[in-house]
């Protein structure tokens, strides 16, 4: 692995915010020449975090922010239980019935048992239609990792209509996975059949390439660098609480990985302290930020919650979207949208109308 280039910002979160501020000043003053036009920041996922932070750090630049599916409370020490994201995923699969989550839970041990012998590894290759044979037990770990990512991503993009966000998927892909799995009596045959929904829904894939990016080319290498610098989000699994094998999270080991992989010095608490105080939850100085999460989205486990009926200093609505996946409210409208996301969008519009009203904007910004 190579070290981080000297030109890479050591605090990319703050650098991104500063870049947005610089570009916004240029856009309003020099390009569009509309210095007093109200501005609202929008973002989903990491972009949602940036939108909220932008309103916190540069409140004179934007009149409000829509922060969708932004896991702002997922930094070290903030989640009560690091298994929470996997518990959300487990619940999504459990709610499909047909013992879907139970089959997933039982599959890990069966895969590991087959991985021990050459004959077992051959069976796994045939079942899951992998492009390459499993020569060693270590090779099978790629399959385990891919399945873990598939379940996470499938819950995250469990949209009510076909999408190509992470992969070409049908509407309600978790339901389709569990439906395909329910037709098989054997556990591994069921999981293999369900996995076809994720990697070969279109029928154009000849085999499962475990060396490809399971997240659809979202630039996970660049994200790994950024995570190592500032965005360490502790996530773990425990079969006593979810449908995944035991995978603890150890911050010290993760930091060591970052130093070895990227020759970087991790700052796991910096963004938490910068925008939320010593415990990360203090948004009392914030105003006019709309926080939304979908109850099907594993990242909702780290979403901002109301504290004593409030989220921030002033006018920070929180909306939990029933049957909503990852930042569904920021996607284009669709005839299959659940009523909850339609309500969320109307509520966001109402908030924006409040924020950009003349009464709310009793200030002048001189660009």
Residue 119: pLDDT over 90: yes
Q: How far is CA 149 from the centre of its chain?
A: 11
| Percentage of residues of the chain with pLDDT beyond 70 | 92
Quote the pTM value: 0.92
Name the β-bridge partners of 41.
65
Task: Give the span between the Cα atoms of 127 and 189, in whole angstroms.
Answer: 7
pLDDT of residue 306: 72
pLDDT of residue 309: 63
Closest listed residue to residue 68, CA positions, set 51, 86, 54: 51
Instruction: Tell me the pLDDT tens digit for each residue of 177-204.
Output: 999 999 999 999 999 999 999 999 999 9
Q: What's the alpha-carbon Rg for the chain, to the nearest Å?
A: 22
What is the secondary structure of 204-258 as a DSSP string? Answer: --SSB-TTS-TTSSS-HHHHHHHHHHT------B-TTTSSS--B---HHHHHHHH
Instruction: Tell me the pLDDT tens digit for each residue of 240-262.
Output: 999 999 999 999 999 999 989 88
Residue 217: pLDDT over 80: no
pLDDT of residue 284: 87
| Higher pLDDT, residue 314 or 65 | 65
Helix 100-115 to helix 118-128 angle (10° resolution) is: 140
pLDDT of residue 223: 82
- Categorize the per-residue pLDDT at 348 as very low, low, confident or very high, splitting at 50, 70 and 90: very high
Going through the chain in order, the beta strands assigned E by DSSP cover 40-44, 64-68, 289-294, 318-321
Query: Residues 45, 69, 84, 292: which is the catalytic one?
Result: 45
Out of 9-23, 83-97, 319-333, least confident range: 9-23
Task: Give the span between the Cα atoms of 204 and 297, in whole angstroms.
Answer: 28
Residue whose entry in the numeric block shows the structure tokens 């109200």: 38
CB 172, CB 178: distance < 8 Å: no
- Categorize the per-residue pLDDT at 216 as very low, low, confident or very high, splitting at 50, 70 and 90: low
Q: What is the average per-residue pLDDT within 311-337?
A: 95
| Percentage of residues of the chain with pLDDT beyond 90 | 76
Instruction: Tell me the pLDDT tens digit for each residue of 128-168.
Output: 999 999 999 999 999 999 999 999 999 999 999 999 988 99
CA atoms within 13 A on the CB side of 247: 17
Q: What is the average per-residue pLDDT within 85-92?
A: 98
Task: Give the span between the Cα atoms of 334 and 160, in whole angstroms.
Answer: 9
How much of the chain is in helix, strand and coil states, percent to nearest 5? 45, 10, 45
Q: What is the average per-residue pLDDT within 10-14?
A: 76
Mean pLDDT, the chain, rounded, equals: 91
Query: Residues 326, 327, 329, 340: which is the catalytic one?
Result: 326
CA angle centred on 169, ends 165 and 73, rounded to 5°: 50
What is the secondary structure of 253-291 as a DSSP string? Answer: HHHHHHHHHH-----TTHHHHHHHTTTS---TT-BSEEE
Query: Residues 148, 242, 293, 297: which is the catalytic one?
Result: 297
Q: Which two tokens stand for residue 11?
A: 């605090």
Closest listed residue to residue 192, CA positions, set 239, 147, 148, 131: 147
Q: What is the average per-residue pLDDT within 327-352?
A: 97
Residue 367: pLDDT over 80: no
DSSP reduced 3-state for 163: strand
Q: Which two tokens stand for residue 238?
A: 């425990």
Residue whose entry in the numeric block shows the structure tokens 């870049």: 19
pLDDT of residue 5: 47
Instruction: Tell me the pLDDT tens digit for each residue of 262-304.
Output: 887 888 898 899 999 888 898 888 999 999 999 999 999 999 9
Residue 10: how many other CB atoms lie within 10 Å? 14
Residue 224: pLDDT over 90: no
Task: Establish whether 45 is a catalytic residue.
Answer: yes
Residue 7: pLDDT over 50: no
Helix 12-26 to helix 46-57 angle (10° resolution) is: 70
pLDDT of residue 120: 98
pLDDT of residue 214: 60
Q: Which two tokens stand for residue 342?
A: 């339609």
Residue 4: pLDDT over 90: no
């Amino acid at each position: 692995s190579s070290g981080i280039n000297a030109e890479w910002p050591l605090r990319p979160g703050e650098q991104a915010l500063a870049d947005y501020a610089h570009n916004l000043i240029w856009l309003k003053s020099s390009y569009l020449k509309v210095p007093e036009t109200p501005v609202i920041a929008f973002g989903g996922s990491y972009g949602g975090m940036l939108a909220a932070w932008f309103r916190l750090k540069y409140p004179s630049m934007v009149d409000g922010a829509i922060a969708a599916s932004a896991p702002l409370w997922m930094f070290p020490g903030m989640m009560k239980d690091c298994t929470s994201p996997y518990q959300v995923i487990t619940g999504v699969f459990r709610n499909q019935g047909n013992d879907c989550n139970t089959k997933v839970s039982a599959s890990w041990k069966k895969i590991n048992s087959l991985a021990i012998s050459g004959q077992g590894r051959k069976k796994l290759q045939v079942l899951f239609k992998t492009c390459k044979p499993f020569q060693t037990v270590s090779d099978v770990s790629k399959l385990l990792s891919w399945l873990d990512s598939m379940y996470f991503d499938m819950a995250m993009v469990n949209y009510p209509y076909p999408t190509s966000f992470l992969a070409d998927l049908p509407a309600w892909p978790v339901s389709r996975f569990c439906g395909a799995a329910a037709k098989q009596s054997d556990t591994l045959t069921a999981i293999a059949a369900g996995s076809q929904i994720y990697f070969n829904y279109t029928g154009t894939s000849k085999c499962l390439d475990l060396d490809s990016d399971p997240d659809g080319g979202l630039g996970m290498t660049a994200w790994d660098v950024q995570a190592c610098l500032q965005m360490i989000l502790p996530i773990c699994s425990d079969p006593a609480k979810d449908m995944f094998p035991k995978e603890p999270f150890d911050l010290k080991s993760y930091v060591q990985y970052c130093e070895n992989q990227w020759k970087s010095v991790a700052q796991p608490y910096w963004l938490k302290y910068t925008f939320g105080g010593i415990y990360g939850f203090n948004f009392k100085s914030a105003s006019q930020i709309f926080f939304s999460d979908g109850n099907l989205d594993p990242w909702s486990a780290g979403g901002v919650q109301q504290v004593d009926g409030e989220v921030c200093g002033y006018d920070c609505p929180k909306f939990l979207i029933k049957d909503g996946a990852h930042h569904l409210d920021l996607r284009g409208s669709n005839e299959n949208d659940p009523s909850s996301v339609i309500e969320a969008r109307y509520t966001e519009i109402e908030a924006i109308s409040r924020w950009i009203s003349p009464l709310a904007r009793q200030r002048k910004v001189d660009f």
